[in-house]
Amino acid sequence: MCLVGGAAPQGWKISWKKLLTFLLFSFIFSFCLFASLRQIRTPEPEDNNSYLPTERSQTGSTCTPPKSERRLTILLWTWPFGQRFTFSNCSELFDTPNCHFTANRSWSQKADAVIMHHRDVCGDGARLARLPRLPSQRWIWFNMESPSHSPNLGAMNHLFNLTMSYRRDSDIFTPYGELQLLSQPQPFSIPPKTKMVAWVVSNWRPSSHRVKYYEELKKHIPVDVYGRHHLPLPMDMLHQTVSQYNFYLAFENSQHEDYITEKLWRNALFSGTIPVVLGPPRENYEHFLPPDSFIHVDDFASAGELAQYLQELSRDTERYQRYFQWRKWLKPVLGVSWAMQVCRACRFLQRTEASYHVVPNLSKWFV
């Protein structure tokens, strides 16, 4: 029977009220259940080498954090060259919170990104290609060696989403060192000099360009060589020893774009001496350093002319000191620790909108 107009029977009114009460109760119950489920979190990996900041929001807000604070889990597929290290607090290094690192491969299907060190995975690219991976997961190719010392690059094509290296055009730029601008000028005291030229080298290859250049240079100027098969030099004595020399041979083992290593940053600049560089062209060095902070072998027609210039410069205090004027405003900072480099990867992922692409021809790019 349909009722059109008029008052509803009393029994109908009671049923309507019960229905409203039931619907209200159901809504409240569903809302509470949904809120509770949102609080359930994925369990942390059981990895003593992982680092997870413990800071929490003081407001207790459950709002979605901004992208710069989005929590990320990054898996380090292998320890680089087998060298284990302690993950750092990226908040302290780069003001990048919520970076969680692990070397536990049980997280390979849950991590936001996987960092793979080239020299530790390049031997079996086919096996890497068969590994299962999340559609949203980004694989990061990590390499701090030059192309001359990076075997089997062709096997890395079409595998990775991001590049991470010392090259400035990498997705994630991880230089061996950089210059930090000081907030105000600071005086720099040049260490006392009692010797002429030093060189620390472990990989001694007589046929290499740098060894051949050294052989010519030493005919005209004394050069003290430290390292394997030469004068002994403990690492804790490196800076104290090199600081006594007017010049340091920052000779790279190969010549490639942007390949400017700790030989310049740590051995020369941190020791307070003038680097004499052999590597990429001067123009490339000037992307990283003031032009009057180093001496490039390409500026001289021969090793003999370079030796003559070094001898003249060492006797002219005023001209010698000009190579240190940049230090009033700039400070060299090392960037070679593994912990710092993986933090750079997290910072990039935090601040970059997620998008999918693949590196099609890594071997053609990395030359």
Catalytically active residues are 145
Spatial contact of 99 and 74, defined as CB atoms under 8 Å apart? yes
Residue 71 three-state SS? coil
Residue holding tokens 């619907």?
23
* Token pair recorded at residue 35: 């809120």
Burial classification of residue 61, based on how many CB atoms lie within 10 Å of its CB (0-12 exposed, 13-18 middle, 19 or more buried)? exposed
* Residue whose C-alpha is closest to residue 125's, from 287, 302, 365, 362: 362
Question: Which residue type, as a one-letter code, is found at position 137?
Answer: Q
The DSSP bridge partners found for residue 117 are 142
Rounded to whole angstroms, the Cα distance separating 348 from 334 reads 19
Please provide the DSSP assignment of 201-242 as one string: -SS--TTSHHHHHHHHHTTTS-EEEESTTSB---GGGHHHHH
Residue 347 DSSP SS3: helix
177 close to 336: Cβ distance less than 8 angstroms: yes
For 296, the 3-state DSSP assignment is strand
